[in-house]
Structure 1
Amino acid sequence: MPGTLPASTTPDPTATVETPAVTGAVHIDGVTKRYGSAVAVDDLTLDVQPGEFLSLLGPSGCGKTTTLRMIAGFEYPDAGDIRISGRSVLNLPPYRREVNTVFQAYALFPHLTVAENVAYGLQQRRVPKAEQRERVSEALDMVQLRSFADRKPTQLSGGQQQRIALSRALINRPSVLLLDEPLAALDRQLREEMQLELKLLQARLGTTFVFVTHDQAEALSMSDRIAVMRAGRIEQLDAPAAIYAEPASAYVASFIGQQNFVHGTVRADGAAVDTAIGAIAGRWGGERVAAGQPAVAAIRPEYVRLEHGEGAGVPGRVLGVSHLGETLQVAVRVAGDATFLSRMPAPTAPSVEVDDEVRCLWDPADARLFAADGIPTTATHVIALPKEGGR
């Protein structure tokens, strides 16, 4: 059954372990996890540094949650090793690992007060009551909820319940805190507020955080590094700015931010792709594709500017204008029935209206070229090659 240990790796609560080497470090070495014939995690190797905020980012089924559950001890790998603070944890059950987990469902006890919920882990460990009271007060101060200590969870908002769940997980002072989409149930404004609070809390505590999410904004706003996962493997591991500006594949480019994808074939010089809207020059992300082979060019909407009148650029007609506060987003019909997106700072954006004829321009240095087979079928704003005989 999934999550069941093979006989040779059954947890032994009395087993001795090595002395920790680096508190908070996580090392995943060649880990594979299968469910029947399906491979959920495929020979994964990953190092998480002590005190780092690392996010596992990807769509459903990419292996991110399975990886987190194996670190926590709720699942066990079929191959490979996992070390926390220098110790292999393969033979350790969850309660003997230096980790705590916060889930999307906060799992607070409704019949207990906030303080009693937070103290639960200490009670299980038979910590003296005087120390319990002191540590509960400290934990609630961390999340600024000491004044709510005597309330029941049902008397709290979703954001407050999330902070109580964090407080309960941190009170045991784990070396590593694992977070499985803990903000997913919150509304947008509260989620954005909690992203900032969570990052500030992690920076203050210096605890290693491993955060699972499918939300790119969460990963970009909070992480020291992001591991973009695909089919049980890591497609790219890097700092948020590098992941955004220098995606290693069309898959990463499509998952982080929005893109205008244009399919075509590589020109003889290898420096541009011939497409339905003309040749697009750019820099290659990942391995180069041979001349004459399918490829895709990607230009982010914020790199596309619009101009009126005659001149260079891709001509089109404005389909729609969206005011997004500090930015103006414009959808432009180009090359027949394809749509190009432009997103410009509102104060400096040109005045455009529906049905205006405009030109789309961008700096070639802002375009990226990728192998065509790396783009997911769910990617948006894709412009295909013209049909035989023209569009």
Structure 2
Amino acid sequence: MPEASLTTHPGPRGRTSQPEEDASGATGSVVIDRVTKRYAGQAAVDDLSLAIAAGEFVSLLGPSGCGKTTTLRMIAGFEHPDAGDIVVSGRSVLGLPPYRRDVNTVFQAYALFPHLSVAENVAYGLQQTRTPKAEVRQRVADALDMVQMRRFADRKPTQLSGGQQQRIALARALVNRPAVLLLDEPLGALDRQLREEMQLELKLLQSRLGITFVFVTHDQGEALSMSDRIAVMRDGRIEQLADSDTIYARPATAYVAAFVGQQNFFRGAVVDAGAAVESPHVVVRGTERVLTGPQGEAAVRPENIRIDPAGSSAAGEVNAVEGELIGVSHLGETMQYLVSLGGDQSLVVRRPTPDAPALRVGDRVRCAWAPHHVLLFPFDDAAEEGGYVAPPTA
């Protein structure tokens, strides 16, 4: 997918992005330029800038209250910014009602008309714009073909499963041929297996159509599996904007590290000239001298930790700690171990099932990990005010 023209620079808490230009003004491009939206004096979206290239799949990821849905609703025209500009396909949409914007929205609640057939639901928007009947029939058929639902054209929504209703909601949004499709947690009402199937279908559909998708979710798995880029949001701003690999492997802040995937966090004094954090149980060393303050946080993902019976060790180990195994869980492809280090701190370890050691609850174990798997962050006291706490346990 083409990349938008962006300049990335440090923000107050992490990384954000300022558009250098309006993503070339191509049909389907979206530029949010220093947009702010307040409710009762509180900023739901705070001076946010984001450039999305035509044909990109960008996810807005974050917890409830971070501003992601408000941002989406402002692009759609359901909310209006207090400051800033929103440009779609090279044209400012400020002041335009939703029906005059070249966007369509798919909501978590599908909002299908129960008294209309599938085909009538999909045709509804075209009929409101007085599209000729012959064209309506053809475009409805084409839209239903896109989502593989033409054979259900005469059924009522109540006769369909949740996944089928989701496909109809997509067809209804796509039949108007929008340049940008906005999706507000559209898979949230589906069960896990169906949700995973729909993730694949959505990404394949977007790749085939080449339409710009802006996807709002609080589910990190959805964002990681489908997106060209992810904007991790916090307190109305973008904490980090990057591709899935970067977001997962090189999070810019402790907030992003904790929100995307699972982490084991260690808090303590910064030692070794900024290359390590000394927690109550272990000195956690990284590969770079990146910390300058007196307090810091070290993080390591469960899959990057080796676990063995206590007393075992390997040459060259830098980070290692012993504890008591207090939990073992079979997760299918992986085994998960919960290790108590004492006090209120525990460590989560995951190993591929074929290579997982045979350990039992109550065993003393040794956990070790390489410095290049350690992420070091300054202590983030402001994060606690925003509802995020870097956990002492995983």
- TM superposition score normalised by structure 1: 0.90
CA distance in 2, matches of 1:169, 1:383: 43
| Pairing 1:17-32 to 2, within 5 Å after superposition | 21-32=25-36
| Conservation of the 8 A alpha-carbon contact between 1:228 and 1:234 | yes
Q: Is residue 306 of structure 2 the alignment partner of residue 305 of structure 1?
A: yes
For 2:352, give the aligned amino acid. P
Q: Is residue 321 of structure 2 the alignment partner of residue 320 of structure 1?
A: no
CA distance in 1, matches of 2:30, 2:339: 47
* Matched-pair identity in %: 66
| Conservation of the 8 A alpha-carbon contact between 1:70 and 1:76 | yes
| Cα distance, 1:380–1:156 mapped onto 2, change above 3 Å | farther
Compute the RMSD of aligned alpha carbons: 1.6
| Conservation of the 8 A alpha-carbon contact between 2:255 and 2:390 | no
CA distance in 1, matches of 2:151, 2:52: 35
- Equivalent in 227, 232, 245 of residue 241 of structure 1: 245
Aligned-partner SS, 2:274:
coil
Q: Is residue 318 of structure 2 the alignment partner of residue 332 of structure 1?
A: no
Shift in Å, 1:311: 4.1
| Conservation of the 8 A alpha-carbon contact between 2:275 and 2:291 | no
- Equivalent in 101, 114, 135 of residue 105 of structure 2: 101
For 2:206, give the aligned amino acid. Q
| Pairing 1:193-204 to 2, within 5 Å after superposition | 193-204=197-208
| Cα distance, 1:149–1:365 mapped onto 2, change above 3 Å | same
Shift in Å, 1:288: 3.8
CA distance in 1, matches of 2:215, 2:310: 48
Tell me the alpha carbon deviations over residues 49-90 of structure 1, each in whole angstroms, 9 at most, x when there is no partner.
100000000011101000000000001111110000000000
Aligned-partner SS, 2:223:
helix
CA distance in 2, matches of 1:36, 1:288: 39
| Pairing 1:48-59 to 2, within 5 Å after superposition | 48-59=52-63
Shift in Å, 1:336: 3.7
| Conservation of the 8 A alpha-carbon contact between 1:283 and 1:369 | no
Deviates more, 1:262-271 or 1:198-207: 262-271
Structure 2 residue runs without a partner (length 5+): 1-23, 314-319
For 1:289, give the aligned amino acid. L
Shift in Å, 1:91: 2.2
Shift in Å, 1:275: 1.1
| Conservation of the 8 A alpha-carbon contact between 1:119 and 1:136 | yes
| Cα distance, 1:191–1:166 mapped onto 2, change above 3 Å | same
For 1:362, give the aligned amino acid. W
Q: Is residue 348 of structure 2 the alignment partner of residue 341 of structure 1?
A: yes
- Partner in structure 1 of residue 8 of structure 2: none
| Conservation of the 8 A alpha-carbon contact between 2:268 and 2:277 | yes
Structure 1 residue runs without a partner (length 5+): 1-19, 385-391
CA distance in 1, matches of 2:206, 2:282: 48
- Equivalent in 152, 172, 175 of residue 148 of structure 1: 152
For 1:382, give the aligned amino acid. P
| Conservation of the 8 A alpha-carbon contact between 2:76 and 2:101 | yes
- Equivalent in 177, 187, 206 of residue 191 of structure 2: 187
Q: Is residue 383 of structure 2 the alignment partner of residue 382 of structure 1?
A: no
